[in-house]
Amino acid sequence: MTIDETPRGSGSGGESPGMGRSRTTARDLERYAGLFARRTQGMKSSAMRDMMAITARPEIISLAGGLPDTTTFPAEDVAALMARVAADASARALQYAPTEGMDELKACIVEVMAGEDMDVATDELLVTSGGQQVIDLVCKTLVDPGDVIVAEGPTYPGAVPTFSAYEADVVQIEMDADGMRIELLEDTLDRLARDGRTPKFIYTVPTFHNPAGVTMSLERRRRLVRLAAERELLVLEDNPYGLLRYTGDRLPPLYALDRGEYVIYLGTFSKILSPGLRLGWTAAPRPVLDKLNLGKQGADLCSSTFGQHFVVEYFAQRNWRDLLGRLRELYRRRRDTMLDALAEHLPHETDWTRPEGGMFIWATLPDYIDTSDLLARALREHVAFVPGRAAYLDGRGGSSMRLNFAGVSEDDLREGIRRIGKVVSEQVGLYSTLTGVEPVPRRHAGSAADAAEAAPTARVLPLRRQAGGER
């Protein structure tokens, strides 16, 4: 929610002086401006959060959200599990929990991490309020204003407001089909070292990247872990999607390769169960974990006890892998539908990634199209996406967009991409009229499923350098 959207006087008995006014006026801002902390000047709103109000309108097909499909969890199951929590543990479920999380929940987390070949002990875990809180706590614990964080370019748009709130200097490393380009990372680390600067941590989403849709190769994973050990650098591995693989071979998370020496691991129940629970976790080297725990005490004391009981009950009463299996099947079909629709409706000058899992495709249009401007046109056609700039801190990404295929029905995916194709084609046509450059004929649709199988390692993906070059 932006400040403009904050409801005034709500829930306060209606006696606030601003009662009845739903927007913050310029005068209001002026009144409070001198009170805000300096760090709020650099605070950025999350593009996706801002767009949620618009994209929640029923007439809009939103490919903008990071939403999983929560309808896959049967309502009667939710009711039955909640009833059991109420009947068996109501007093405990309504009580505070330890800051580090309930032991029974940690046992479930150990099981989930084992599903990706990670070996972790319960006392190496901290339960958090979503994975998002891990990013916040890691910054709170490690970052002083001006400190360097190294991240991928593009990076997870939801991390952008966090990095800016802690006044970090974020250096983004270009990616290709095999994830972050580690040779560029090494160059960047050398350059920073020459300036006497060491990053506080390297932030990466190595598996089914949000927003890029690509996966870091095994070789690069090994190199990154080796580099972190050689240079004694912390890596924050953000892995919400690792279990959502639709094609290709499983790769070990960085945490499994490093065994918890330099890798801080972020996991979450949001994409394998429900984001509404707001439950995630971190596994980190002991001294870091202790500080993260202190940071969490100051933030929210503990994560929802009721939610923790719900997850424990879910793991006890159901096979969590069944839902995962259903999600994989559903999202695989949706990914293929989106890939097919992109091939059918987007002009030849555009390109996009072919993810083996996760929830996102990153599409790149010709340089002369600005996706922030294009979004206004798309919204008139009742379709939404996340403009690429949301994934950069330095203005790059202007001709790219993030498309979510997981939370939308196949019919809406086809129709949404058709509408995006229409507005993109109009722009390509306009450019051609103005410049006399002929548009390239539309590609042949072909089978996207085949392309998804073959493409990820076969070609360099269009995560190409944007204006401004690599920092």
Ligand X SMILES: Cc1ncc(COP(=O)(O)O)c(C=O)c1O
- Strand-pairing partners, residue 151, are 172, 203
443 vs 345: CA distance, rounded Å: 9
Interface residue with ligand X among 205, 384, 417, 461 (CB under 6 A) is 205
Write the binding mask 155 to 194 for ligand X: x where contact by CB under 6 A, - elsewhere: -x-x------------------------------------
Residues 59-78 that bind ligand X (CB under 6 A): 66
Write the binding mask 344 to 373 for ligand X: x where contact by CB under 6 A, - elsewhere: ------------------------------
299 vs 34: CA distance, rounded Å: 24
Q: What's the min distance (Å) between Cβ of 42 and ligand X?
A: 21
Q: What's the min distance (Å) between Cβ of 155 and ligand X?
A: 9
Cis peptide before 462 (omega within 30 of 0): no
Segment lying near ligand X (by CB under 6 A), choices 115-123, 128-136, 216-224, 332-340: 128-136
**Quick one: 147 or 237, whose CB is closer to ligand X?**
237
Write the binding mask 234 to 273 for ligand X: x where contact by CB under 6 A, - elsewhere: ----x-x---------------------------x-x---
Q: What's the min distance (Å) between Cβ of 278 and ligand X?
A: 7
**Quick one: 99 or 268, whose CB is closer to ligand X?**
268
**Quick one: 73 or 366, whose CB is closer to ligand X?**
73
**Quick one: 67 or 171, whose CB is closer to ligand X?**
67
Residues 130-159 that bind ligand X (CB under 6 A): 130-132, 156, 158
| Position of minimal CB gap to ligand X | 130
Distances 300 to 296, 303, 457 between C-alpha atoms, Å: 6, 7, 43
Segment lying near ligand X (by CB under 6 A), choices 101-109, 126-134, 188-196, 317-325: 126-134
**Quick one: 237 or 313, whose CB is closer to ligand X?**
237
Interface residue with ligand X among 179, 260, 280, 388 (CB under 6 A) is 280
**Quick one: 181 or 271, whose CB is closer to ligand X?**
271
**Quick one: 347 or 397, whose CB is closer to ligand X?**
397
Q: What's the min distance (Å) between Cβ of 10 and ligand X?
A: 24
Applying CB under 6 A, what is the total number of residues that bind ligand X? Answer: 14
Contact 411, 334 (CB under 8 A): no
**Quick one: 274 or 293, whose CB is closer to ligand X?**
274
Residue 275 interacting with ligand X (CB under 6 A): yes
Residue 407 interacting with ligand X (CB under 6 A): no
**Quick one: 158 or 260, whose CB is closer to ligand X?**
158
Segment lying near ligand X (by CB under 6 A), choices 31-39, 127-135, 212-220, 326-334: 127-135
**Quick one: 66 or 199, whose CB is closer to ligand X?**
66
Q: What's the min distance (Å) between Cβ of 162 and ligand X?
A: 10
37 vs 410: CA distance, rounded Å: 46
81 vs 316: CA distance, rounded Å: 10
Residue 101 interacting with ligand X (CB under 6 A): no
Segment lying near ligand X (by CB under 6 A), choices 34-42, 124-132, 183-191, 434-442: 124-132
The residues that touch ligand X, with contacts defined as CB under 6 A, are 66, 130-132, 156, 158, 205, 210, 238, 240, 268, 270, 275, 280
